[in-house]
Structure 1
Amino acid sequence: MAVSLNAGVRNALSSLQSITAQAQASQFKLATGKKVNTAVDSPVNYFTAASLNDRSSQLTGLLDGMSNGIQTIQAASKGIDGITKLVSSLQSTIKQAQSDAAQNRPTKAGTALATAAEQVATSKSLKDIALDKKVVGADAIADAATATSSGDLGIINTDTNLAISITAGSTTYTAGLSSANATVRDVVNEINKSGIATAFVDEKGQLNVKGTGSDDVQFGIGADTSAPLALTDAAAGGANVAFGFLAADATAGGAIKGQSITSAVRSNLIDQYNDLRNKIDDLAKDSSFNGINLLKGDRLSIQFNEKAGKNQTKLDIQGSDVTSDNLGIAQATNTKTTGQINFQNDTDLESATKALTGALTSLKSLSSTFGANLSVAQTRQDFTKDMADVLSTGASNLVNVDANSEAANLLALQTRQQLSQTALSLSNQSDQAVLRLF
């Protein structure tokens, strides 16, 4: 049987039920932290927030790939830094070898141009006697020095022209001399003017010719009836001018060839140089990260957005195969060998210095390229993090509840609920008054 309620009770009960439902909804929002929990609450906000959160999640997923890419670039950059230090060490080794230059000069000494008998006759030193002797004489026989004559080397006076020729490596120096009065001292002075060789007469009266560089030096003096013929004779070795150099030491009929002296210091530096050179290859091989090595020609691709195809944005970095050979750093040897550095040769050492400078330039350029790519990757990483935060915040703004506002609303509903309960109680009192009639 249905219970009949008066109007006041019905209104109070209806109001209380409505307030209770609103309070429960408010409590649910505070519990979940969202004002839109289902599509029913707000279709537009619900699906928009879901789309924003989905993109934010995809971008966040790309951050790991970006981080690995950045570490790969940094590994290659650290490798370049290490290789640069090794190249600098190679430069120091070359400088050590070059500092030993004075001990590595081609030199040759002839036989004595003065004798003990001449020393007794003139009361001069063997050195001064040799320096004062004339080159050209009255006949083809060398005349000894006396108290009144300086003597000569025995070049006949019909050869009115003298010339010298000095060749070191690819450089040649020639000069003509006056046959009438030219002395051994004049020849020495002319050789010293060449810049590619030096000459002196020692205390034994021997003429010494020494190269200023490490290239073999060929020296010749010629005498003939004309300047061109004298020069030709000098270049080929004069027929009767050897300046005390033994025939066995002569090349092309009278020119002498200086013999290079092997420097022990430079020889000892070869192993050090080659070891450092090999370490460049080893270091490049060890500069990989997660299986990718940009110093061995690998390719790195870093994806920046969640799209595919032509709409995808990414950074492609092509590595370089960094080896000592590719950097132009040749292996060192103790002899002249094609494609290698002869540590005994000044020209080779200078070429090696230039090659090392070029290697440093190449490494600097490669480091700059990696640095620019690293800056791009780090910038995009920071952007992606910020973008993911923006998307998440935007989604939250659409569906998240304002806790302060909702808490105040719940408090107000609880107050209204209490008031509604009081109103319901008062409405029931009117029905209870009937009981007083009995």
Structure 2
Amino acid sequence: MVEPVSSLSTAFSRNIRNTQNIAEVSRERSNRLSTGLRVSQPNGDPADYFRAKALIDRVSDLGNAKGALQLEQGGYQTSVLGLDTVEKFAKQLEGIALAAKSAESAQERQALSDQFNEVRNQINNLVGDATFLGKNLIASNTVSDLNIGDANADYNGFATFNDIDTAIASLNSAVSQVRSTQSDYAVDLAISNVRENFTDDLSNILQDGVDKLVNADLNEDAATALAAQVRSDLSFQGQKILAQGESLLLGLF
């Protein structure tokens, strides 16, 4: 009569082990469902974990590079905006010079000459404001670089048409120079934008690689977790039955 009791004990022990294994599977799948990760620690899958980490580090490096590109773009955008305003000032100066041609007296031309100089002085002030994070890509001596002269000293107070034409010619040259410089910055900005787009695309590809290496298949894990729960319930019922059977047999003795 001892042999049946021994067999029940063996079955009971085997059922306990199965229950423990089912519980481990259930915990693992529940953790995947809660974190969304198949691999979250090196001991989970060392090869995939460290390959994913290398990709994550690369994505982080690209993020830093993108930040630098965005700062670079901010500098270019500020410069383009500043040069656009410089051009507007230059066109305003040209309008003043043209108005001098229609002036009816030397006094009126002198007043326009003084007005010309007031607007001219604003260009350097504007250039000084075209700063992004402490960097100014537009030279602080823009007025002299553009060769926009002083109306009184260089254009004789607009005393003659020749003086006015000289001023207008220098302004036209200045506008051409501003547009050329602005075009250069626009090209640099476009290149920087392309590099940023490439960085974004590469980051997305690398992140997709990370996801494939460590992310869980939530549908599969949900099905496995449900199956484990059913098996756990059945195992528990089996343990009860075995325990009752063993108790009844021992009672016979």
> After TM superposition, is the score higher than 0.5?
yes
Query: Could you tell me how far 1:436 is from its partner in structure 2?
Result: 6.0
Inter-partner Cα distance in structure 2 for 1:361 and 1:55: 44
For residues 312-361 of structure 1, give each alpha carbon's deviation from its aligned partner in whole angstroms, at most 9, with x where no partner exists: xxxxxxxxx5522211211112xxx6xx1121122121122111111110
> Of the two, which has the highest radius of gyration?
1
Task: Find the counterpart in structure 2 of residue 72 from structure 1.
Answer: 75
Instruction: Tell me the residue number matched to 1:7.
Output: 10
Structure 2 partner of 1:38: 41
What amino acid does structure 1 have at the position aligned with 2:137?
L
If asked which structure has higher relative contact order (CA below 8 Å, sep 6+), I would say 2
Structure 2 regions of 5+ residues with no counterpart? none
Counterpart pick for 1:53 among 45, 56, 67: 56
- Residue 390 of structure 1, CA deviation: 2.8
Task: Give the secondary-structure state (helix, strand or coil) at the position aligned to 2:108.
Answer: helix
Does the alignment pair 1:272 with 2:115?
yes
Superposed, 1:276-295 pairs within 5 Å as 276-295=119-138
Q: 1:349 and 1:406 mapped to 2: Cα distance?
A: 83
Query: Partner residue of 1:84?
Result: 87
Q: Distance in 2 between matches of 1:6 and 1:435?
A: 11
Shift of 1:435: 5.1
1:432 positional shift: 3.2
Aligned partner letter, 2:145: N
Tell me if 1:19 matches 2:18.
Answer: no
Matched, 1:428 2:235: no
> 1:350 is matched with which residue?
165
**Aligned-pair CA distance for 1:46:** 0.5
Within the alignment, does 1:329 sit opposite 2:139 as a pair?
Answer: no
The residue aligned with 2:155 is 341
Aligned-residue offset at 1:37: 2.1
Q: TM-score scaled by structure 1?
A: 0.53
Which amino acid counterpart does residue 171 of structure 2 have in structure 1? Answer: L
Is 1:381 the equivalent of 2:200? no
- Cα deviations across residues 249-292 of structure 1 (Å, max 9, x unaligned)? xxxxxxxxxxxxx7222111110011111111111121111111
Deviation string 1:163-185 (CA, Å, 9 cap, x unpaired) is xxxxxxxxxxxxxxxxxxxxxxx
Specify the alignment match of 1:394 in structure 2.
209
Whether 2:189 is the aligned partner of 1:370: answer no
Where does 1:125-140 land on structure 2 (aligned, <5 Å)? none
| CA displacement at 1:412 relative to structure 2 | 0.4
Structure 1 or 2: more strand by fraction: 1
**Structure 2: distance between partners of 1:269 and 1:35:** 77
> Which amino acid is 1:71 matched to?
G
Give the drift of 1:56: 0.9
| Cα deviation 1:380-421 (Å, max 9, x = unaligned) | 223323332332232122112122221221110010111112
Distance 1:64 1:436 in 2: 78
Q: Which has the higher helix share?
A: 2
Secondary structure of the corresponding residue to residue 289 of structure 1: coil
Distance 1:374 1:80, change over 3 A: same
Provide the rounded CA distance (Å) in 1 between the counterparts of 2:176 and 2:86.
12
C-alpha distance in 2 between matches for 1:322 and 1:388: 42
Query: Aligned-pair RMSD on alpha carbons?
Result: 2.1
Q: Which runs of 5+ in 1 are unaligned?
A: 104-261, 297-320
The 1-side partners of 2:124 and 2:144 are apart by 9
Alignment-mate amino acid for residue 285 of structure 1: G
TM-score (normalizing by structure 2): 0.89
Amino acid of the structure 2 residue aligned with 1:13: I
